[in-house]
């Protein structure tokens, strides 16, 4: 887990408190994406035919996870052991392939606790959020940020499981074309069935004990 300065923790706590009006429920996030698709648009500042195609495909991916993903007994036990009234906020965009694979699963996990809350903030519309959770200086998403019942920052995770990060790093090292490794990445998500994500979140929850 990262070492976080007191100042950075304070800034993360502050952005949580001052920007709740920008929170989308999971349903609201899905509806936002679907409404934009009706207009041939996507979330975010950039608009293009390729991003629209990605976003439409991602909608199908999210639908599949919503229908077929059920958290494992180990995942259920891990979140049930956590304190009450925590809050998970995910930074995402509809065109992001990793977000399409991950956000539905995180939502399903958080839904196991009726006293927990789950929200999404859009990256491009919320730079104050994104700038506090950069990955090696990059605005990589999705990033899931966890706050306790007092609205205090506890930890964050993302943009993808470490096994997927290694897959991409290896592909780039071997100069695999981007379209090929992206396809390989989505095949990995389908084959892995959220096991890697669950393992990392179980470890994070256990670290909060």
pLDDT tens for 169-196 read: 999 999 999 999 999 999 999 999 999 9
Half-sphere exposure of 119 (CA within 13 A, CB side): 16
Residue whose structure tokens are 């606790």: 113
Mean pLDDT over 2-15 rounds to 89
pLDDT for the residue 32: 98
Instruction: Judge whether residue 3 has pLDDT over 60.
Output: yes
Instruction: Judge whether residue 54 has pLDDT over 90.
Output: yes
Residue 148 placed within a domain? yes
Instruction: Judge whether residue 1 has pLDDT over 60.
Output: no
Q: What is the CATH number of the domain that holds 91?
A: 3.40.30.10
Q: What is the pLDDT of residues 79-137, one digit of tens each?
A: 999 999 999 999 999 999 999 999 999 999 999 999 999 999 999 999 999 999 999 99
Residue 1 placed within a domain? no
Q: Are 139 and 123 in contact (CB under 8 A)?
A: yes
Q: Give burial (CB, 10 Å; 0-12/13-18/19+) of 106.
A: buried
Enclosing domain of residue 64: 6-207
pLDDT-based confidence at 2, cuts 50/70/90? Answer: low
Mean pLDDT over 57-61 rounds to 98
Residue 38 placed within a domain? yes
Mean pLDDT of the chain: 96
Mean pLDDT over 2-24 rounds to 91
Residue 85 placed within a domain? yes
Instruction: Enter the tokens of residue 100.
Output: 């399409």
- 28 three-state secondary structure: helix
Instruction: Enter the tokens of residue 17.
Output: 């408190």
Rg (CA), the chain: 17
Q: Is the peptide bond before 159 cis (omega within 30 degrees of 0)?
A: yes
**55 Cβ partners below 8 Å, 6+ apart?**
33, 36, 37, 42, 43, 94, 95
Residue 178 placed within a domain? yes
The total of structural domains in the chain comes to 1
Distance spanning both ends of the chain, measured CA to CA: 14
| pTM over cut 0.85 | yes
């Amino acid at each position: 887990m990262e070492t976080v300065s007191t100042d950075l923790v304070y800034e993360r706590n502050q952005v949580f408190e001052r920007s709740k009006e920008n929170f989308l429920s999971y349903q609201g996030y899905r509806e936002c994406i679907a409404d934009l698709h009706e207009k041939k648009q996507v979330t975010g500042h950039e608009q293009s035919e390729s991003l629209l195609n990605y976003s439409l495909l991602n909608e199908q991916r999210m639908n599949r996870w919503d229908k077929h993903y059920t958290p494992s007994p180990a995942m259920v036990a891990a979140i049930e052991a956590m304190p009450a009234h925590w809050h998970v906020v995910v930074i995402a965009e509809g065109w992001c392939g990793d977000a399409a694979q991950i956000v539905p699963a995180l939502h399903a996990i958080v839904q196991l606790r009726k006293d927990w809350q789950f929200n999404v903030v859009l990256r491009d519309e919320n730079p104050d959020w994104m700038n506090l959770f950069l990955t090696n200086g990059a605005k990589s998403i999705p990033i899931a940020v966890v706050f306790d019942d007092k609205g205090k920052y506890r930890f964050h995770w993302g943009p993808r499981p470490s096994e997927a990060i290694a897959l991409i790093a290896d592909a780039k090292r071997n100069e695999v074309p981007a379209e090929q490794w992206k396809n390989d990445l989505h095949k990995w998500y389908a084959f892995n069935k959220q096991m890697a994500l669950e393992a990392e979140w179980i470890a994070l929850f256990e670290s909060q004990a």
